[in-house]
Amino acid sequence: MPPFQILPCTLADGPALARNNIAAFWTDPTWILMWPGKTCEYVISQATLRVAHNLLSNRERWRHLKAVDTATGDLVGYVRWVLPEDGPEGKMWSAALGPVGSAEEREKARRESENADWEFDHSLDKQDEVMVGLKEDLMGGKRYLLLDYLAVHPSNRNQGIATLLVESGVKEADRMGMDVFVLAMQAGLNVYEKSGFVLLKELHQDVPESGENGQRAAYYLERKCRVMEGV
C-alpha cells in the first residue's frame, strides 16, 4: 500500500483540515501579518468553525480532496479545485465532491461559520486586488480547471504529498480535456513545475513588514491538457 492516499473530504475532517491548512499558511510571514495579536492556535480554532460550511458550499464548482497517511489515518494535506462557471463540468468529477450533509448539518455549519472570528488586517487588500486582477487577466475568460488552494502541514512536507494532490487534479483535467491554471506562492513553485506547469508571469510586491527581503512574490502558471489515450 502506498504511504499516502488521496480521498474525498468529509464533515468529520473539519478540525484536521483547519489545523493542516492554517499551519501551512502560518509559515508565510506575509500571511501572518493579516492576524495581528492572534496566535496560530486561535486562528485554527476559528477556521475549524468555517470548514464544514466551505465543504458544503458551491457544489457545482468546488472539488475537495485530502491526503491521508495510510499507516496512521492522519490527514496530511488538502487541495481545492474550482471548475468553470455555467458549464457541463459542474456535473463531472463527482468523486471529489464535498459532503452533501443533512438539512440540520448544513444549518449548523452555516451558524458556526457566521459566528467564527474571521476579522483580519485588510492593509494588504490593494495588493491582493492587483494580484487577483492579474490572475483574471491571464486567465482571460478561458475555461480552466483552477487549482485554488493547496496546503500541506509543515511537519509533513518534502514527502511528495503536495505532488500527489496536484496530480489528482491534473489527471482529471486531462480526462475532461481542460487546461489548468494556478496562482502560486514560492513554496509551491517547484511542485507545479514538476507536474508540467509553465510559468506565464510573476509578480513581486513590496511588503516591508514581512521580513528581511520585504517582498511577496506570486507566480502564475498554466498546464496544458494532455489528451489521454483511450479517453
Alpha carbon dihedral 13, 16, 18, 20, in 10-degree steps, equals -130
Asked whether residue 219 is domain-assigned, the answer is yes
Asked whether residue 230 is domain-assigned, the answer is no
CATH number at residue 103: 3.40.630.30
For the chain, what is the domain count? 1
Model pLDDT for residues 113-152, shown as the tens digit of each residue: 999 999 999 988 999 999 999 999 999 989 999 999 999 9
Q: Reply yes or no on whether the pLDDT at 230 is more than 70.
A: no
In one letter, which amino acid is 159?
Answer: Q
pLDDT attached to residue 184 = 94
| Domain, as residue range, for 159 | 4-115+122-223
Share of residues in the chain with pLDDT > 70 (%): 94
